[in-house]
Structure 1
Amino acid sequence: MERIKEALERARQERQQSGGSFGAAASRGASATAPSQIVYTQTRHAEVSNELLRGRRVISGLDPDSFSDAYRILRTQVLQRLRENKWNVLAVTSPGLNEGKTLTAINLAISLAMEVNYTVLLVDADLRHPNVHTYFGLEPEFGLSDYLLSDKPIEELLVHPGIQGLVVLPGGKPLTNSSEMLSSPKMSRLVEELKTRYPSRIVLFDLPPLLATADAIAFAPYVDAALLVLEEGKTSTQDAQYATELLKDTHLIGAVLNKSLSSQAGYGQNGGKSPRRNIPWNKVAGKLRQLTGRLLRRKGR
């Protein structure tokens, strides 16, 4: 922890001395009050069709329905916690593989970007299996790993996928030593720069699963808070509880129960099954006990 603190302090000093910038919107006016229309000059632009987004289940910025409404509710709850604590760096992770954390991070990022007072930077920090770019149909040549390994300038890595207020930093080439890279002083300086460059920017990191690698645990000290994604019918209570123990020193602002089977009628709709429910953290323990009961019954134990 002392090494991390020293690295963060060096980052602050370097930023004050250099005044260097790298890239999001052209205007630094995206700071205190976001402009009504952001013009991207340094960031590479890639137009992504709504048809492609729908086909890959990226839905929070599309036509209103129960799916996008669920993410708007999640956005409201997340923003409340961030504002209360003056936080702007959030990690999204899950206990295990394929529980929906990347898609949740993407849809949450889009929902947050729709808030007129904020811009959002979505960072693919799952460096062993970078995957965020595929949901947008992007084929970036470089990404975060290239910055960490070969000093590729950040402004050459960012991509604006045609969604107002959103910029994506792809993961780049897969790394086998991702834990070491994510916990390096160079990464800590980057996080500090991303965190403080634009006061109205929210930075979302898509992290690897907690129980698959040490990456998320190594990176956790750099973020303000974390959001845990659980999949109903798949995530075991033991895995969920172990994941929370691993993040005991990180502010957990809540959990998302992905692919929920509960029926919920949306406002102004005829009802249906909500794909996601947002669970306040003080209720997670009870929800996990309920989940355990359903899992045991389904397995016939």
Structure 2
Amino acid sequence: MDSIRQAVELARSGDSPAHQEFIGGSKPIATAHEAASTREVRLDVDHLEANRIVAFATGSESGRYYDMLRTQVLQEMDKKNWQFLAITSPTAGCGKTVTACNLAMSIARLPERSAVVVDLDLRKPMVANYLGLPASGGVLSVLDGQVPISSAVIKAVVGPNSLFLLPGSVPTSGSSEWMSSQTMTTLLQAIKREFRSHTVIFDLPPMLLGDDVISILPRMDAVLLVTGVGSSSVADVKECQKHLERVPVVRVVVNKVSEDVDTYYGSYY
């Protein structure tokens, strides 16, 4: 009751920040008015390329596949005015995080487009690792009320372009509980409000490793399923289809088709 009373008093106060949301009953999610506190980090190109993050530069031979995927995904999302895109895979090792990062960077290169990547693979957060960011703070710190969202979000700059990141930090065994919680709903509402002009890409856990993805799918607008040759079977994909019947699937990416450079990054349909 004290936390509710405190929230009401803050809302009535003339000098309190507008539209603050409370996570865990104590800490507020900061609003766009506090965006000046967002950290800006310049990403290391060599680190990105070593981790197969290649879509940050125009004209990249490998990146053009992500540009094609970008155009098809955005066309589908624009038809329905969708904002939230979930990226998942049947099992581990399919390349979903690589796909999420590359797709976001490809979107960020478009004029009048902006992208946000949110690492919701709470069991094994890898976005920060792939992009060369320090594993501190992150989405879990926002969920448990340690920091406001404005302090956890990072503006990642590479070349002339930038995108926003809400990375993960340490793995948690409570992923399933967080995914289905009202606290997560509050966080998603804050992200939708503060980044309403952005395409928000959520890197989710593999679908068949638990009920995490199933719990949060109803809050997503669309799904991109990443499969990997040698990592997921036809039976795995069919099992995923059962859970995706009520959520629009914009594309299925088939990763690791061969080791040839021109086709390594996969195909899609």
TM category, shorter: 0.7 to 0.9
| 1:210 pairs with 2:174 | no
Structure 1 residue 154, shift from structure 2 partner: 0.6
Alignment TM-score, normalising by the size of structure 1: 0.75
Gaps of 5+ in 2: 1-10, 12-16, 21-28
Matched residue type, 1:169: L
Structure 1 residue 147, shift from structure 2 partner: 1.3
Gaps of 5+ in 1: 1-13, 27-39, 264-270, 280-301
State how 1:3-152 maps to structure 2 within 5 Å: 18-20=18-20, 22=30, 41-62=36-57, 64-152=59-147
1:232 to 226, 229, 232: 229
Preserved CA contact (<8 Å) 2:156 2:162 = no
Alpha-carbon separation, structure 1, partners of 2:224 and 2:239: 15
Alpha-carbon separation, structure 1, partners of 2:104 and 2:198: 11
- How many residue pairs match? The answer is 244
Alignment TM-score, normalising by the size of structure 2: 0.84
Preserved CA contact (<8 Å) 1:119 1:201 = yes
1:168 alignment partner in structure 2? 165
Alpha-carbon separation, structure 2, partners of 1:179 and 1:139: 25
State how 1:251-266 maps to structure 2 within 5 Å: 251-261=248-258
Structure 1 residue 23, shift from structure 2 partner: 6.1
Alpha-carbon separation, structure 1, partners of 2:206 and 2:184: 19
Alpha-carbon separation, structure 2, partners of 1:86 and 1:63: 26
* 1:99-155: CA deviation from partner (whole Å, max 9, x where unpaired): 100110010111111112221110000001111100111113211111112342111
Preserved CA contact (<8 Å) 1:122 1:168 = yes
Matched residue type, 1:71: Y
Find the residue that maps to 1:155 and give its secondary structure.
helix
1:276 alignment partner in structure 2? 266
CA RMSD of aligned residues (A): 2.3
Matched residue type, 1:43: T
Find the residue that maps to 2:157 and give its secondary structure.
coil
Bigger strand fraction = 2
Preserved CA contact (<8 Å) 1:147 1:154 = yes
